[in-house]
């Protein structure tokens, strides 16, 4: 076996180990999120102040404003909420849309991923005026890279 083949074999082995680690992380993260989604009930306390503008009660007395538009739901100040509240927000978006005959085609994992992408970008200071609120599209984001990154983040369960 030549040196070139040995190097190629080592590189392929390293790539396979990285893929295995990402799969394990993805399995654990997705399992954790799935458990949270399954444990969250659909007993929501909310108040609609005007058409499409809703204030949802969260844990510990917190409230979140969600603005429902024709193609998306905008979570105001999305960066402020932690994992259990984010799950509750996503479940509520589905619930409210169903009540109003609006179809949400995206999976919970994709919605989770896009939400978390917004909050991560906000926390690192990237375009805070645009990333502070999470605009969760019902079908898909118009930007392919947001869909791709959101799907990966959702799949990994971050």
pLDDT digits (tens, 9 = 90+) for 117-126: 889 889 888 8
**What distance in Å separates the CA atoms of residue 146 and residue 15, rounded to the nearest whole number?**
25
Report the pLDDT value the prediction gives residue 49, as an integer from 0 to 100.
86
Model confidence at 38, in pLDDT bands (50, 70, 90)?
low
Q: Which residues contact residue 122 at a Cβ distance below 8 angstroms, ignoring those fewer than 6 apart?
A: 78, 79, 128, 131, 132
Both structure tokens of 104: 């949400």
- Residue of 140, 37, 155 whose CA lies nearest to 95: 37
Domain boundaries, the chain: 3-156
Decide if 141 contacts 120 (C-beta within 8 A).
no
Please state, rounded to an integer, the average pLDDT across all residues of the chain: 85
Report the pLDDT value the prediction gives residue 37, as an integer from 0 to 100.
65
Q: Which residues contact residue 26 at a Cβ distance below 8 angstroms, ignoring those fewer than 6 apart?
A: 155, 156, 157
| Interval 30-56 mean pLDDT | 78
Report the pLDDT value the prediction gives residue 113, as an integer from 0 to 100.
87
pLDDT digits (tens, 9 = 90+) for 53-85: 999 988 888 899 999 998 999 999 999 988 888
């Amino acid at each position: 076996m030549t040196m070139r083949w040995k190097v190629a074999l080592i590189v392929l082995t390293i790539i396979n180990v990285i893929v295995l680690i990402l799969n394990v992380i993805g399995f654990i993260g997705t399992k954790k999120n799935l458990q949270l989604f399954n444990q969250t009930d659909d007993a929501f306390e909310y108040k609609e102040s005007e058409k499409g503008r809703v204030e949802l009660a969260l844990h510990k007395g917190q409230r979140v404003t969600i603005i429902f538009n024709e193609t998306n739901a905008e979570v105001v100040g999305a960066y402020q909420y932690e994992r259990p509240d984010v799950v509750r927000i996503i479940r509520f978006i589905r619930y409210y849309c169903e009540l109003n005959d609006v179809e949400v085609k995206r999976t919970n994992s994709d919605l989770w991923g896009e939400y978390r992408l917004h909050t991560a970008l906000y926390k690192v200071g990237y375009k805070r005026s645009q990333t502070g609120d999470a605009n969760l599209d019902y079908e898909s984001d118009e930007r392919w890279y947001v869909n791709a990154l959101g799907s990966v983040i959702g799949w990994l369960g971050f």
